[in-house]
Homo-oligomer: A and B are copies of this chain.
Amino acid sequence: MGLVPEVLNKNKMETLKGDYAIGHVRYSTTGSSILKNAQPFMIKHNRLSVSIAHNGNLVNAGKLKRELEKQGSIFHSTMDSEIVLHLLVRSKQEALEDKLIEALDKCDGAFTMLFLSDKKIIGVRDPQGFHPLCLGKKGDSFVLSSETCSLDLIEAEFIREVEPGEMVVITENGVESRRLKKKCEPAPCIFEFIYFARPDSFIFGDSVYQVRERLGVQLAKDNFVEADLVMSIPDSGNYAALGYARESGIPFEFGMIRNHYIGRTFIQPSQEMRQHGVRIKLNPIKEAIRGKKVIVVEDSIVRGITTSSRIKAIREAGAKEIHMRISCPPIKHPCFYGIDFPSKKELIANQIKDVDAIGDFIGVDSLKYLSVEGMMKAVSKGCNSFCTACFTGVYPTKVCKNSRKSDFDS
């Protein structure tokens, strides 16, 4: 538990031996942030050792866990991921891959998972493919990662995305592809494009950076306003802001500067800060803003609290008018698939239905969101059946009433 460079420092790394390894960076959206919930999570059962790393959220976790406990299983974490391992050891199949397929076909929801066993790494994406998983290669070694940007970091070559419902098995003989049995319409998470994925990644068949620029271009087409300059709330709003500036012809400026020395708290779990709207200190450039009519582009608004404090800072720096443009529609509905939104009541667009009223709350002179249609136009290239549940309320799986934290943490 802790920050990666602290947990896996040089000394630790040098003690690690072997040819196969998996790791995990997780905010534990289901299950609290304590040591026993750290992943990868390992079990030894008879002669089998298996570790799991899980990105996503099972929607039928509560039901599965209750059934397993009735049969005498003891859970040692509060993570939904542990369920898969209990299903696994109870499978009568012979081969690990077959046991896993049997176990995973009982699971509903979002699961991008890695398993490490003796001389074998198995990667799997749920049949709807909510979250991304890619396959890379460095020298003779294969790599699996959620996003392609990590392949770049280690200078590995990107081979292809793992497909929804696909299981890839990496051994010394190379990569083998298997299939889960359940068939569904793919439903990749559109919010990965809007905010969650890194701009230097390539997911769901497209460049995240270019999708965001196109969202900004579309935003300028649909919601133009005259102004002296376009700026973003850095860094997440940068790319849509640049798209907006280019399409509108209004100059782009770095109106706010990020303080890099405060940034490290960003991924510390169990702090208020880890939310989407984390309060990273940003300082406006007064001399660039003073007396100007500015367009502020942001990728999304969740609670609205951080945004309104940013707007206040821009106002105090002397902006004459502030027009806010958001490169996605209002977020009104909870996510059951692993994006760590706050509760419904904390989503500002769920509480305030009128967009102008949200603008008043945030303190801007005008506020416009990109429409669902506009968003789809900008996004659609590699794929066109996305999960847009947080915007539309249309969920691609049956959702249990209690399919979230409450099942496990209390």
Is A199's CB within 8 Å of the partner chain B?
yes
Question: Known contacts A153-B259, A281-B153: does B267 contact A254 (CB below 8 Å)?
Answer: no
- A153 and B235 alpha carbons, distance in the complex (Å): 18
Question: Known contacts A199-B285, A251-B246: does B152 contact A75 (CB below 8 Å)?
Answer: no
Interface-forming stretch among A159-167, A183-191, A202-210? Answer: A202-210
Interface-forming stretch among A83-91, A171-179, A299-307, A332-340? Answer: A83-91
A252 pairs with B252, CB closer than 8 A: yes
Is A398's CB within 8 Å of the partner chain B?
no
B69 pairs with A72, CB closer than 8 A: no
Is A406's CB within 8 Å of the partner chain B?
no
B242 pairs with A252, CB closer than 8 A: yes
Interface residue count on the A side (C-beta < 8 Å): 57
Query: Shortest CB–CB separation between residue A220 and chain B, in angstroms?
Result: 14
Query: Shortest CB–CB separation between residue A287 and chain B, in angstroms?
Result: 4
Is A195's CB within 8 Å of the partner chain B?
no
Is A21's CB within 8 Å of the partner chain B?
no
Give the residue of B152, B198, B287 whose beta carbon is less than 8 angstroms from that of A210. B287
A4 pairs with B261, CB closer than 8 A: yes
Question: Known contacts A73-B72, A85-B74, A86-B74: does B210 contact A283 (CB below 8 Å)?
Answer: no
Chain A residues near B (Cβ < 8 Å): 3-5, 35, 43-46, 66, 69, 71-76, 85-86, 89-90, 149, 152-153, 198-200, 202, 207, 209-210, 235, 238-239, 242, 246, 251-254, 257-267, 281, 283-288
B257 pairs with A200, CB closer than 8 A: yes
Question: Known contacts A86-B74, A283-B152: does B257 contact A199 (CB below 8 Å)?
Answer: yes
A287 pairs with B71, CB closer than 8 A: no
Residue of A43, A89, A254, A263 with highest tally of chain B CB at under 10 A: A254
- A260 and B283 alpha carbons, distance in the complex (Å): 17
- A254 and B207 alpha carbons, distance in the complex (Å): 13
Question: Known contacts A198-B257, A285-B199: does B73 contact A76 (CB below 8 Å)?
Answer: no
Give the residue of B45, B149, B239, B264 whose beta carbon is less than 8 angstroms from that of A264. B264
Question: Given the complex, which residues of B lie within 8 Å of A90, measured CB to CB?
Answer: 72
The chain B residue with its CB closest to the CB of A267 is B261
Question: Given the complex, which residues of B lie within 8 Å of A281, measured CB to CB?
Answer: 153
Question: Given the complex, which residues of B lie within 8 Å of A66, measured CB to CB?
Answer: 46
Question: Given the complex, which residues of B lie within 8 Å of A72, measured CB to CB?
Answer: 71-73, 86, 89-90
Question: Known contacts A72-B72, A252-B242, A261-B267: does B283 contact A200 (CB below 8 Å)?
Answer: yes
Other than A209-B288, A210-B287, A261-B264, give 9 A-B pairs with Cβ distance below 8 A: A3-B261, A43-B74, A72-B90, A74-B74, A152-B283, A200-B285, A209-B285, A263-B263, A263-B264
The chain B residue with its CB closest to the CB of A78 is B44
Query: Shortest CB–CB separation between residue A379 and chain B, in angstroms?
Result: 15
The chain B residue with its CB closest to the CB of A90 is B72
A199 pairs with B242, CB closer than 8 A: no
- A35 and B5 alpha carbons, distance in the complex (Å): 22
Question: Given the complex, which residues of B lie within 8 Å of A200, measured CB to CB?
Answer: 257, 283-286
Give the residue of B74, B199, B261, B263 whose beta carbon is less than 8 angstroms from that of A254. B199
Query: Shortest CB–CB separation between residue A35 and chain B, in angstroms?
Result: 8
- A141 and B399 alpha carbons, distance in the complex (Å): 49
